[in-house]
Structure 1
Amino acid sequence: MIPDLAPTLPRAEALRQLTRAFAAAGLANPRGDARFLAEHALGLSSSELILHGQAPLGESGAQALGEAAARRLAGEPVARILGAWEFWGLPFRLSPETLVPRPDTETLVAAALPLFPERHRPLRLIDLGTGSGCILVALLHERPEAFGIGLDRSQDALATAKANAEANGVASRAAFLRGSWLDALAGPFDLIVSNPPYIGTGVIPTLDAEVREHDPPAALDGGPDGLDAYRAILGNIAQRPGLLAAHGVVALEIGYDQATAVTELARKAGFSDVTVARDLAGQARVVTLRPSLSVR
């Protein structure tokens, strides 16, 4: 039930009422959701919300917060309501054709950076299926001499990624191209990264409603067994050895149960050095791949 948020209601009390309503609705993070939406709707920082908690909502604040609460109680994720989310400590704008950046994907950035530990080493990167650009932008933020390409089939996603690169100060070292995986690209790349679609087609109807109904289907559907994108990426690298630099590395996010299958695909494609990194929950989340001499 949506609480009655009157314009005269103090902000702190509105926050308490929202938290209770979200908890009663069974939302996983009622306090955090209420705080994020209150800050967004009222245009306040966390500290301002605390320091000025006794100030009334006001007409516009009450209306904006009520509308945001209604959307959340209808099942829309907080990040979609805000239109933005944080990743790797950086802000990212979202759009309908981009995934919400998730903490699990930070494992990909964390696994890739130690592969090139020299911060100022020049690197050429490519992020396949870049979406919001969060992976590419985070890597460019950490490696100031790197240049990166974000590739995506969605023009909407590419526009969003470009805007995020500009907002985070790396646009001069980034390019965004429309295309499918590695088709029509020329290497060599020092690092190829991707968080591709990896959900099996038949599994998508069973996903949580916040994912199933609000994330773009093209960013989720990995084909019947969830492995279509990995076959395309690894097969392309195997067939076109010039795509990967002599000491280049591929880093791919995977589903929690896909480590064995993706490792097998990688070995068949000629990758002799395969490492699996785990996320904070202990689940296999990223495979890093180095090719054998015959593939270089």
Structure 2
Amino acid sequence: MSPVSPARIDEVLRDARARVVRAGLEHADAELLLAHTLGKSRSWLYAHGEDVLPDEPAQRYAAFLDRRIAGEPLAYLTGRKGFWRFELNVTPDTLIPRPETELLVELALAHLPRDRPVRVADLGTGSGAIALAIAYERPRAHVVAIDASVAALEVARENAKALRLTNVEFRLGDWCAPLADDTFDVIASNPPYIALGDLHLEDLRYEPASALTSGHDGLDAIRAILRDAASHLAPGGALFVEHGYRQGAKVRALFDAARLRDVETANDVEKRERVTSGVKG
């Protein structure tokens, strides 16, 4: 931990911004961590720049800053991550929600009518990001959120409670197994899709490996989902799966093999193939 001496908030932030930028991070990380440490907003920091930072929060802030510079994700340090229209609690038991996953939510919502009850399943819900976004936008939907991790499901439950969403049911288990004999208008999933041994895993070392990797080509989880998903879709129901930007062709082939129709892949904001969907005939 770096040594700390009493200093004004604006001085502490000046030095912290310089450190995080030298580490290749965004300077805003320094402000967000100090705001989190003090339980204040970033605007409060600007308004109180001449205040002296007391020793105890200064020590905690220095520890947070050292951990961030060492590579620990900001979301795990603050316990919060923005997604869709809200902030979610996240822990190291859950994958950190990414902006590209909002594309999957948009596509699923486009398939779901607003004027009647519908049923939705989110496989591998993690923090609940997909399930809660759909439940929020479709109050008449009954959303089943599934995860194999007890700890992750507890985080998702806490998020649903904080958002006062009462139309979400939580089930423990792997992929489609907890769906029993139920059928759904939409099944959505952001499963692990990184290949074992991928060099990018070092950058993701703080996140749960079970939510990241899936076999030698990264597609084992998607294969498991497609093995059973069609039997849980109502006629006209659709499956939406997020995947890596180089996996589109292989995922479409898996969708075709599962005898889903209207198979197509949507691109994310960076024009990369990101979400493949198919409809039950």
Q: Identify whether the pair has TM-score above 0.5, normalized to the shorter chain.
A: yes
**3-state SS, counterpart of residue 193 of structure 1:** strand
Letter of the 2:270 counterpart = A
Instruction: Verify: 1:228 aligned to 2:220, yes or no.
Output: yes
Equivalent pair of 2:172/2:178 in contact (CA under 8 Å): no
| Aligned residue in 1 for 2:144 | 149
The Cα shift of 1:136 comes to: 0.4
| Aligned residue in 2 for 1:246 | 235
Letter of the 1:65 counterpart = Y
Instruction: Verify: 1:42 aligned to 2:56, yes or no.
Output: no
Residues 13-92 of structure 1: pairs in structure 2 closer than 5 A: 13-27=11-25, 29=26, 31-92=27-88
Letter of the 1:149 counterpart = V
Matches of 2:110 and 2:139, distance apart in 1: 15
Letter of the 2:5 counterpart = A
Equivalent pair of 1:97/1:216 in contact (CA under 8 Å): yes
The Cα shift of 1:181 comes to: 0.8
The Cα shift of 1:121 comes to: 2.9
Q: CA RMSD in A?
A: 1.5
Residues 275-290 of structure 1: pairs in structure 2 closer than 5 A: 275-290=264-279
**3-state SS, counterpart of residue 186 of structure 2:** strand
% identity of equivalent residues: 40
| Aligned residue in 2 for 1:113 | 109
| Aligned residue in 2 for 1:10 | 8
Equivalent pair of 1:105/1:253 in contact (CA under 8 Å): yes
Instruction: Verify: 1:180 aligned to 2:171, yes or no.
Output: no
Instruction: Verify: 1:159 aligned to 2:133, yes or no.
Output: no
Instruction: Verify: 1:98 aligned to 2:94, yes or no.
Output: yes
Letter of the 2:271 counterpart = G
Instruction: Verify: 1:209 aligned to 2:202, yes or no.
Output: yes
Matches of 1:225 and 1:210, distance apart in 2: 19
The farther-off stretch of 136-145 and 182-191 is: 182-191
Instruction: Verify: 1:266 aligned to 2:258, yes or no.
Output: no
The Cα shift of 1:184 comes to: 4.4
Q: 2:130 aligns with which of 116, 135, 138?
A: 135
Listed one character per residue, the Cα deviations across residues 94-114 of structure 1 (whole Å, up to 9, x for unaligned) are 122210111111111122111
Listed one character per residue, the Cα deviations across residues 22-76 of structure 1 (whole Å, up to 9, x for unaligned) are 112223x1x1211111110111112212222221111222112111111112221
Give the number of aligned pairs. Answer: 280
Instruction: Tell me the TM-score normalised to structure 2 length.
Output: 0.95
- Judged with a 3 Å threshold, the aligned counterparts in structure 2 of structure 1 residues 184 and 66 are, in CA distance, closer, same or farther, namely closer
Matches of 1:226 and 1:210, distance apart in 2: 17
The Cα shift of 1:208 comes to: 5.3
**3-state SS, counterpart of residue 146 of structure 2:** strand
- Judged with a 3 Å threshold, the aligned counterparts in structure 2 of structure 1 residues 209 and 55 are, in CA distance, closer, same or farther, namely farther
Equivalent pair of 1:192/1:249 in contact (CA under 8 Å): yes
The Cα shift of 1:291 comes to: 2.1
Runs of 4+ off more than 4 Å: none
Unaligned runs of 5+ in 2: none
Matches of 1:237 and 1:92, distance apart in 2: 28
Matches of 1:232 and 1:98, distance apart in 2: 20
